[in-house]
């Protein structure tokens, strides 16, 4: 067994230069030693400092009469223990993505409240790298109150993102209630909260039926119109009295003092009303952006963008439309440009490593992924590139099957690529996990989909059209693709989007049809046509971005 000198080294690395002489001398006055496994190590320290920092260690060291003790620690590995001993001296946790689980568990054992708080802060600050699933697993395993409080604050700020995770559907009623009763819950409108509650309830209705009224009581029921209350709220098991009380509150102001409703005001955290968000559709051939006017049920041209590209991919991200790759004057391009909604100007971004066209693009955890496609000299691509502001474009793991003309979604912290073409029309589906940097094969779709489009709607993946004309949806809970009613125009490269709890399909090659999916009756309802035929990319933006300066 070797004596561990790393604590001395780490202390000297993290303390100010002016204090190093003092630390060098005081380290020679150690009066307690710890034997640790994994790997076998001997770590020395000062009982006075440890007793002041850790109630657990203070109790362990009581009654020594100044004798230098040798203490065996069996439930913490040596590296983690050494880092936490360093914390006792410096207040710095030396935590990383790889060790934060062990650091948090050990800090709880040693009752180092400051180290626990630092670990919890690190988890929240790195939630995109740490992954929400891993954070929830750690919260459940440790039952750490500090982590629970910080996760609740994260859920409040990022409610819409959290509700799209698979972990959300497994929340217990107590946790669900704790989240949605928060007055500062960040949502666009109360309908967002209701839709989330309904999805959560229907995921396990038999087990949640009894607790449902307590959860629904946390909604701001007076923010719904009377028709909605009497149809959607009243129909929920055990919520009849809540619905009637809310209607009486809205229709009979004189009796409000006699009514009992937990919440009657809208949330302070409400960040956007439905009429403050606009549905836009970019015609990928002409560069025209159309805005949907919900009140008048018509599409109006908002702006023309001079793109001069074809077969490119685009995404909306942080007030910008990002145009990636494609062809310019028959030349394959690796260029990436960002068009800003406020300035209405282009900005050049770093180019991809390879020129690509007929590829697919998505965003996940504030990073851009360019996947597959075709490239001169390389043929059909299976390669994948990831862009971040700090590191530019770098290659990550290749897909299992090279393909172009595929469709893509980011869902549950992973990326799904579906269909496409590689000499044969494909029905295969692959899933990329950015944490492991690995692709896995998923269950195939029922039909081949080449130049189809995809989106996430109500916790499921929908793939629309392509040359086959079929429409399918994927339910991650049962790991199954199901064919649904085909689009009436049977076009390809239709622009799908989920908005206001409805699935829209806009345009398509040789089509200007707009449809909304009626899930209850498995049919598409035709809406007002968009002025131009063509392939569309649909997205939503805050209306403030559409106002002229």
- CA 306, CA 520: separation in Å to the nearest integer? 41
For 237, how many CA atoms within 13 A lie in the half-sphere containing its CB?
10
Q: Which is higher by pLDDT, 523 or 131?
A: 523
């799209």: which residue's tokens?
164
Among 14, 533, 541, 8, residue whose Cα is nearest residue 286? 533
pLDDT in tens, 320-349: 999 999 998 878 999 999 999 989 999 999
pLDDT of residue 155: 92
Contact 359, 372 (CB under 8 A): yes
Q: Which is higher by pLDDT, 67 or 292?
A: 292
pLDDT of residue 253: 81
The answer on pLDDT for 6 being more than 50 is: no
- pLDDT band, very low/low/confident/very high, at 68 (cuts 50, 70, 90): low
pLDDT of residue 145: 93
Contact 417, 387 (CB under 8 A): no
> What's the 3-state SS for 461-490?
EEEECCCCCCEEEEECCCCEEEEECCCCCC
- pLDDT band, very low/low/confident/very high, at 94 (cuts 50, 70, 90): confident
- Report the chain's mean pLDDT, rounded to a whole number: 87
The answer on pLDDT for 2 being more than 50 is: no
pLDDT of residue 271: 53
Among 80, 141, 149, residue whose Cα is nearest residue 115? 80
Contact 106, 86 (CB under 8 A): no
DSSP 342-389: TT--EEEEPPPSS--BS-EEEEETTEEEEE--EETTTEE---EEEEET
The answer on pLDDT for 5 being more than 50 is: no
Percentage of residues in the chain with pLDDT exceeding 90? 57
- pLDDT band, very low/low/confident/very high, at 146 (cuts 50, 70, 90): very high
The answer on pLDDT for 273 being more than 50 is: no
Contacts by residues 15-18 (CB-CB < 8 Å, ≥ 24 positions apart): 15/90
The answer on pLDDT for 62 being more than 60 is: yes
- CA 517, CA 496: separation in Å to the nearest integer? 11
Among 294, 303, 290, 264, residue whose Cα is nearest residue 276? 294
Q: Which residues pair with 314 in a beta bridge?
A: 323
CA distances from 447 to 196, 419, 499 (A): 31, 9, 26
The answer on pLDDT for 307 being more than 80 is: yes
- pLDDT band, very low/low/confident/very high, at 252 (cuts 50, 70, 90): confident
pLDDT of residue 3: 40
216 DSSP assignment: H
Strand 471-475, strand 460-464: pairing: antiparallel
Structural domains in the chain, sorted by start: 2-140 (3.30.710.10), 159-258 (1.25.40.420), 308-546 (2.120.10.80)
pLDDT of residue 261: 86
3-state secondary structure (DSSP) of residue 280: strand
pLDDT of residue 7: 53
Contact 344, 367 (CB under 8 A): no
Six token digits for residue 491: 């076009």
**pLDDT mean over 404-414:** 92
CA distances from 378 to 226, 325, 336, 402 (A): 60, 15, 20, 11
H or E element at residue 261: none
The answer on pLDDT for 398 being more than 80 is: yes
pLDDT of residue 120: 93
- CA 537, CA 300: separation in Å to the nearest integer? 16
Percentage of residues in the chain with pLDDT exceeding 70? 91
pLDDT in tens, 436-476: 899 999 999 999 999 999 999 988 999 998 877 789 999 88
pLDDT of residue 1: 40
264 DSSP assignment: -
The answer on pLDDT for 159 being more than 60 is: yes
pLDDT of residue 365: 80
Contact 515, 491 (CB under 8 A): no
CA distances from 79 to 40, 103, 214, 528 (A): 10, 10, 46, 64
Strands of 277-283's sheet in order across: 298-304, 288-293, 277-283, 536-542
φ, ψ at 38 (rounded to 5°): 55, 65
Beta strands in 235-287 (DSSP E): 277-283
pLDDT of residue 272: 44
């Amino acid at each position: 067994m070797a004596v561990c000198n790393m604590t001395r080294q780490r202390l000297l690395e993290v303390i100010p230069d002016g204090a190093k002489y003092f630390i060098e001398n005081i380290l020679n006055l150690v009066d307690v030693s710890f034997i640790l496994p994994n790997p076998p190590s001997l770590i020395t320290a000062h009982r006075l400092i440890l007793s002041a920092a850790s109630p657990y260690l203070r109790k362990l060291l009581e009654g020594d009469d100044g004798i230098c003790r040798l203490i065996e620690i069996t439930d913490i590995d040596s590296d983690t223990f050494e880092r936490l001993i360093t914390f006792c001296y410096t207040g710095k946790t030396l935590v990383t993505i790889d060790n934060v689980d062990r650091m948090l568990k050990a800090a709880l054992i040693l009752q180092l409240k400051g180290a626990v708080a630092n670990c919890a802060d690190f988890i929240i600050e790195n939630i995109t790298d740490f992954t929400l699933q891993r954070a929830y697993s750690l919260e459940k395993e440790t039952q750490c109150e500090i982590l629970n409080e910080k996760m609740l604050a994260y859920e409040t700020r990022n409610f819409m993102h959290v509700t799209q995770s698979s972990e959300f559907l497994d929340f217990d009623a107590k946790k669900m209630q704790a989240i949605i009763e928060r007055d500062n819950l960040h949502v666009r409108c109360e309908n967002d909260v209701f839709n989330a509650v309904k999805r959560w309830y229907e995921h396990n209705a038999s087990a949640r039926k009894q607790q449902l009224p307590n959860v629904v009581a946390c909604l701001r029921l007076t923010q719904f119109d009377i028709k909605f209350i009497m149809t959607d709220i009243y129909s929920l098991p055990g919520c009849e009295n809540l619905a009637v009380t809310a209607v009486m509150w809205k229709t009979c102001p004189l009796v409000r003092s006699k009514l009992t409703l937990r919440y009657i005001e809208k949330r302070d955290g409400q960040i956007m009303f439905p009429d403050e968000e606009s549905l836009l559709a970019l015609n990928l051939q002409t560069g025209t952006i159309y805005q949907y006017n919900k009140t008048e049920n018509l599409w109006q041209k908002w702006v023309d963008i001079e793109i001069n590209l074809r077969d490119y991919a685009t995404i909306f991200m942080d007030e910008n439309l990002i145009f990636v790759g494609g062809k310019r004057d028959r030349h394959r391009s690796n260029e990436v440009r960002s068009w800003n909604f406020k300035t209405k100007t282009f900005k050049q971004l770093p180019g991809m490593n390879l020129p690509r066209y007929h590829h697919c693009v998505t965003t996940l955890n504030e990073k851009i992924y360019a996947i597959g496609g075709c490239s001169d000299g390389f043929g059909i691509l299976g390669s994948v590139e990831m862009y971040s502001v700090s590191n530019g474009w770098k290659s990550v793991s290749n897909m299992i099957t090279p393909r172009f003309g595929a469709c893509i979604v980011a869902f549950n912290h992973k990326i799904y690529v579906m269909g496409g073409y590689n000499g044969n029309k494909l029905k295969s589906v692959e899933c990329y996990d950015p944490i492991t940097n690995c692709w896995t094969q998923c269950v195939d779709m029922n039909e081949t989909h080449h130049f189809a489009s995809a989106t996430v709607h109500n916790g499921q993946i929908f793939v629309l059209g392509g040359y086959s004309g079929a429409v399918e949806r994927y339910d991650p809970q049962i790991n199954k693709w199901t064919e649904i009613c085909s689009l009436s125009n049977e076009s390809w490269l239709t622009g799908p989007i989920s908005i206001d709890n409805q699935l829209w399909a806009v345009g398509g090659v040789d089509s200007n049809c707009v449809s909304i999916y009626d899930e209850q009756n498995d049919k598409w309802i035709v809406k007002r046509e968009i002025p131009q035929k063509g392939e569309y990319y649909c997205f939503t933006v805050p209306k403030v971005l559409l106002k002229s300066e």
